[in-house]
Structures are given as structure tokens and as C-alpha cells.
Structure 1
Amino acid sequence: MVTAAAPMAMASKARVSALAGSRQLVDFQTAFDRPYQFMALGTQATIEWGAGDEKYLVGSGATPADGSFTTANPHAEGGFLMKHDDYAYGVYLGRRSSAFNDAVEAAGVKNMMREQNPINVFYASKMGEWTWGATVKYSNGKDEVAGGTILAGGADIVTAEASSLGFAVGASNGTFDVELVQGLTGKSTFDKDEVESKGMTQVGFGYHINENMEAYAQYGMVKADITDGTTDSTYEKTGYAVGFVNTVAKTEDANFFYGVAYASEKIEDERESSVLPVWMGIEANATSWMVLRGSVKQNILLNETKITAANDKKVNVDSIAFNAGVGFKLGKGMLDANFGTANQGHLSFTDGAGADKFLSNVAYTYNF
């Protein structure tokens, strides 16, 4: 696993994104979907900040493709993990569900709320040869003047509300991994507009061929009913992936890995794609106090997206993706940051937007 080169750098989006989110990574961020991984981490506190995150949709009925989101304010998050010999537990604040928010964004409704005030509580332990874990997530938010016109006497106040509840469970015996992420409820309303979850499920299975190689399969689905005034519609997204990852070289100072997968995704009445991504990455100690990370990823042979919303037009463009980051060891702490990756890897202090900006995702982790 890619941890030996930087044993303290296991708690940041910056690290995961710099290493292409490869399956074999063990990190605080990957453990939310595979909670048995919390047993592989040590007692620590971590804080994330940086890239902008949206609270509301803006504009009149615009869609995300129209650039209708505001990213003026960063969305911070953070929490702690307490580790003992046979169990671990902790609390994490601010981690939003991409599945729920995708459904909200698909509605394209002005001032509709995404997840607000999310909190994760998690626990992991050992049971014989198996390590298992579970996490429960809850969020709730309300704004009684969101986009509303307040008339004399306080009449005509429009309320925006959003709430969600879900959990994740998983187990591993070192050879087999199984995990399930399940959304139980999810609802966002604004006046007469509403998005309500009808199903959010993600399942995964991993088989460790040996210490360095793993084959895996994943499936996910999101379904929600959307009411936009008097019009009803359904948002439905499904996808699956089958892949293989291999840590080719692993020493005390560096790890080099590669992976390949077949992935398919479909958003009903919008687009569908089939791709064959190949990626490689490295994490290495540049000095005793600094860790450098980088990865490159590209679709080969299969790289087609069919835009069903545009008369089945097909897109097959350059898919190269470069990511890089750095970690600074500060005593028992680690400061992680990623580099901007806009324009096919051209690093700049000004290029990109949101997570593509230079040093946009930053995290500080302290290991007790």
C-alpha cells in the first residue's frame, strides 16, 4: 500500500487527488467509504480547507453546465480519530455527499440547498481474522428567507431546507474486502420545488492477489424524484468499474504504482460513457521534511461519451489528467497541499477554477 514513503500523510483530499484516487490508497478520506480502513490509521486530528464549494444554485433555472454555481467560499471540514489496540472511533464534520448533491444540482433550481451541517460518526474494530467498520452520517439545514421576498408584515417568506441520512459498512480479512455505502433519506426543498432521494447505493469488492496487487469491482446508483414547480422528472445515474492496481516498487523512501480499469457510467436522458483509464503515480520523500506526489491518468482504446441530451452526439477528446501535490512534515504534524492541474498539467497561480487552482486543497493533520 502507498503509505511507507509518508506514514503520517494519511488524511487529506490533497494526497488522494494527487495520487489519482487509486484503489490501494489507505487514507482518512478513503476510509469513509471503506470504514474498516480506520483501523489502519493512528490517533490523529485533521482539518481540510481550500477549494470553493457551493451552498446554493444561482441564476434562474440554470444548469451546472451553464456555470451557474458560486464558488466564492471554501467549504472546510475536519475531525478526529481515536485508535486503540482493538478498536477505533471518531467524529468528522463537514463532509458532504457527492451523490446527494449531484441530484440537487441536476434539478437546476435557483436557491435550492445542498447538504448543510453534515456530521459523520464512525467506529471500527477486529473480529477474529476480519477487520470491520461502520460510519453513520446525518445533515440538516434550513433558511427561511432564501431567495424569498419579505413583504410588509413578514408575509411571503420562502423556505429552503435540506436533510440527509446514510451509512457505510465494510470488512476485510486481508485477502477480501467488501463495502457498502447506503443513503437512507435525502431531501432538498425550495418553495414548491423539491428533490427527494429514491435510492443511493454504492457497493465494492476487492481481492488482494498478493501484498502489492489488488483486483476490484464497484457499482453505484443514484435515483431521485425532482419537482420543479408543476413539472415532475427523475434523475437517475448508474455506473460500474472493474479494475486492477499494482504497487510496483515500495521502499522506505518511495512508492510507485499503476492501475487499469474498465468503467461505464450513464445519466438517464443526458449522457453515457465507456472508458478504459490507465494511471500511474509516485509518492516519495524528497527530503526528511517534504514528500512529493504525482500521478498521470489517461483513457486508452475506449474513450467515448455519448451525449443523449444532444441527439446522441459522441465525444472522444484528449483525456490526459495530471495531478501533483506536496506534504510538509512538521514534527508530528503534516501539511498537505495539491498543485493546480488545469491546462493538461500546466502549473500556474491563476489557471483553473475551484479544485484546479494552485494549492487549492490544503489539510493539516496532527498525529498523537
Structure 2
Amino acid sequence: MKQLLVIAIALASTTAFASRARVTSLGNSAHIVDTQSIYSNPAKMFLMGDFVNLESGSTTQTTQNTNTEGLLVRSMGDAKAGLSLGHRSDNASVFGLRSIYNTVASGSATTAAAANQQNPIELSYGMKSGDMTWAGTLVYSNYNDKKNDVKESSAGLRLGALTGAWDFNVGIGLGNTAKTSAIDFKGTTGISAYAGYAMNSMYYFGEVVLAGAKMSVSNAEVAKVETTKVTVGAVESVKKDGNEFFYGASLVSFQAKNDGTASTTDDTKSTTLNLPVIVGLEAEATSWMTLRGSLTQSVLINNSKTEVGSATAVETAPGGNNTVAAIGAGLKFNKVTVDGSLSGLTGTGATQALNGNTLLSTVGLTYMF
């Protein structure tokens, strides 16, 4: 058992640029730079060397960041190019509100295919120009089950730039559709804008995400949703002897409106306002092993309200417990890093047990050229 524990903890990131498991273990803190950062700001591929990253996962998962994917980045003089296979982009899942489709379709085998991007591909390219680095990414997926009349397609664009202490990125959904013989889903709005600023040990950031979609069942419109999310926050990172401790907070405002389109459906409006606080650390246990973890919880402000028509259906201020813990580790073999994270730490089904089912719930391998 002791040998199993040592091996399992070892197989999970030690370099600054590692994998999805590292980002998950550090609570997706805004200040982190990682191979996964390219999926939000493609210009950040210039902050690391050339690499190939492989992520374990399933081809049938409907949850973001749980599927199999791979990313390759190579230099070409002052330019860099990237190729990603299998990554489910925010352009469709978040900006395009594909979750609405999942809710109505109830997740049968054929409808799930339309809800998710199928074999998505992303192409990235960027260059340095003076003090500025810029890059762009094209996102595309397409699927057509001709026998069962199930289709999905998506297209998107991401633009990113780095200049001095600033970083910027914009995400644009260019197309987002999913359908079966009875259900027709179409994204109507999909755009995000992000800016970050680093000063000494502090990192300040802000983001706006606008999303919209409409859905019809048997030619009758059942949903027309528009959402707005605004986030502002700051993180302080304290580094010493190869170790890092960080803490921060952000204010997150979210609003969703669903126009009642059927005769029996009232308009629905949901709003939330949260102040999540994050505390995390990443420490070198040895020269070849790194341990990391984070804790996130909304503090003081955790408000939620849902109105159906003129009546209030749900209202909490503040809301219930939402503490989330994440723990992971990594092992470096020369230029190869293998990362993993632990599951079963939080949630209604949390076991707090360390066994073969919870170890390495997320595994990624990164090779730096």
C-alpha cells in the first residue's frame, strides 16, 4: 500500500507549465500561466517553450474540461503555431449555452452527440512585434448523423495580446448550432472580453461574457436565453525558494433571462452575486516532485434570486455552503511532466478517502521540447 501511495502521488506537475490537472488543483486561479492558458489567450504560448500536451478523459462527457484532448505548440522563428485536437471550446459550451440543449434533450445517445462539439479542432498562430505579442485561434467542429438526423456545428475565434504588464483576450462565437429531428438549437450571441494587469506580486483582472441562444422543439420555440457575466478580481502571489503561496478574491455578477415563448411559460430571470475567495499553494517536495492545492469559497456575498413571471421562486442572501477543495501533485522526468489530481474531496458524494478510484482522477502528460 505504501508503494502504491508513493507511485500514485508521484504520477500527478512540477514545472510552471504543465497540464489541466495543475490548473484544476490550483482552483483555476486567474494569475496562473499554463499550457491550458492558450485556450483563453493564445498569445500566452509565447510565455513558454515548445511543447506537446496530452490530457486523459472521456469522449462522451458533457462537462467542460473532462474530455480527451491534445495540444501541440511549435516555434517558427519569431512566430509560433499551435494545433489542438479534442478540446471543447468555451466558444460553444459557455458562450453558446449548449447546456440549454442538454437540459431539454435529457441526454440520450443521439441528443448528447448534438449537445457536445464532435472532434473539435483549433488552429493557433501568433507573432512578436516590438514590445507586443499577439496571436489568434480558429475553432471548428462539425458532425452529421444522416440516419438519425442529428447534427452539430460550431465555429469561433479567439484573439490575444501581451504588452508589458498587460494581457488581453477576446472570444467570439461565429456559429453554434445543434439539432435533431425534433430539437433545433442555435446560439445567438457569444462574446467575451478579458484584461489582466500584473504589478509586483499582484495580478488584477476583469472579464465580461455575453451569451445567448434560442431553442425550438417540434417547431415551437421553448427557450430564448440571454446571459451576462461580469468578473473583477485580484490575486497576490508570494514566491520563495521555488514555492508559491497565493490568495485572492473576485466579485462575480451573473444574470440570465429566458423569455417565455410558449403560452404556458412565464419569463424567467435569475441573478447571482458572489465574492469567491481563493487560497492556494504549490511547493516543491523534491527536485522532481511538486505538491499543490487550493480552497475556494464565497465569503460574505453569496446571493441568488430567481423570478418566474412576477413571482419570486428562489431567493437566498447569502446562500448555502459552496466550499471547494482541490489537491494534486506532479512528477518530472527530465523534460516530461506527468500531472494528476485527486477527486472525492468535496460535494455531496465526497468520501475523503485515498484509493484507486480517487487518485489520478485527472491525468495529463506534457513534453517540453
TM over 0.5: yes
CA distance, structure 1, for counterparts of residue 226 and residue 190 of structure 2: 10
Out of 126, 140, 143, the position equivalent to 1:141 is 143
Quick one: structure 1 residues 22 and 361, their matched pair in 2 at CA, closer, same or farther if it must change by over 3 Å? same
Instruction: Describe the SS at the equivalent of 1:88.
Output: strand
- The answer to whether residue 319 in structure 2 is matched with residue 320 in structure 1 is no
State how many pairs are aligned: 329
Structure-to-structure mapping, 1:1-368, within 5 angstroms: 8-50=15-57, 53-54=60-61, 75-83=67-75, 86-98=78-90, 100-101=92-93, 103-107=97-101, 108-110=104-106, 111-112=110-111, 113=114, 114-145=116-147, 158-208=148-198, 210-232=199-221, 233-247=223-237, 249-268=238-257, 269=268, 271-308=270-307, 311-315=312-316, 316-340=319-343, 341-343=345-347, 347-348=352-353, 358-368=359-369
Aligned AA (2:34): D
Quick one: structure 1 residues 48 and 192, their matched pair in 2 at CA, closer, same or farther if it must change by over 3 Å? same
CA shift at 1:240, angstroms?
A: 0.6
CA distance, structure 2, for counterparts of residue 189 and residue 91 of structure 1: 28
Gaps of 5+ in 1: 1-5, 56-68, 146-157
Q: 1:36 touches 1:124 (CA, 8 Å); kept in 2?
A: yes
CA shift at 1:87, angstroms?
A: 2.1
CA distance, structure 2, for counterparts of residue 201 and residue 119 of structure 1: 19
CA distance, structure 2, for counterparts of residue 267 and residue 350 of structure 1: 40
In the other structure, the counterpart of 1:66 is none
Q: 1:109 touches 1:228 (CA, 8 Å); kept in 2?
A: no
Paired-residue identity, %? 28
Aligned AA (2:341): N
Quick check: 109-118 or 124-133, which moved more? Answer: 109-118
Provide Cα deviations, 1:297-338, integer angstroms capped at 9, x if missing partner: 111110112233583312410121111111111221001111
Q: 2:21 touches 2:339 (CA, 8 Å); kept in 1?
A: yes
CA shift at 1:94, angstroms?
A: 0.5
CA shift at 1:350, angstroms?
A: 7.6
CA shift at 1:75, angstroms?
A: 2.7
CA distance, structure 2, for counterparts of residue 183 and residue 91 of structure 1: 19
CA distance, structure 1, for counterparts of residue 352 and residue 289 of structure 2: 19
Q: 1:218 touches 1:240 (CA, 8 Å); kept in 2?
A: yes
CA shift at 1:229, angstroms?
A: 1.4
CA distance, structure 2, for counterparts of residue 89 and residue 211 of structure 1: 30
Gaps of 5+ in 2: 1-12, 258-267
What TM-score comes out, normalization by structure 2 length? 0.83
CA distance, structure 2, for counterparts of residue 335 and residue 267 of structure 1: 39
CA shift at 1:342, angstroms?
A: 2.4
Provide Cα deviations, 1:121-159, integer angstroms capped at 9, x if missing partner: 1112211111111111111112234xxxxxxxxxxxx31
Instruction: Describe the SS at the equivalent of 1:308.
Output: strand
CA distance, structure 2, for counterparts of residue 104 and residue 132 of structure 1: 29
What TM-score comes out, normalization by structure 1 length? 0.83
Q: 2:91 touches 2:155 (CA, 8 Å); kept in 1?
A: no
Q: RMSD value over aligned CA atoms?
A: 2.4
Aligned AA (1:225): K
In the other structure, the counterpart of 2:5 is none
Instruction: Describe the SS at the equivalent of 1:312.
Output: strand
Q: 1:9 touches 1:334 (CA, 8 Å); kept in 2?
A: no
Q: 1:294 touches 1:325 (CA, 8 Å); kept in 2?
A: yes
Q: 2:89 touches 2:139 (CA, 8 Å); kept in 1?
A: no
CA distance, structure 2, for counterparts of residue 19 and residue 198 of structure 1: 33
CA distance, structure 2, for counterparts of residue 21 and residue 318 of structure 1: 19
Q: 2:43 touches 2:161 (CA, 8 Å); kept in 1?
A: yes
Instruction: Describe the SS at the equivalent of 2:105.
Output: coil
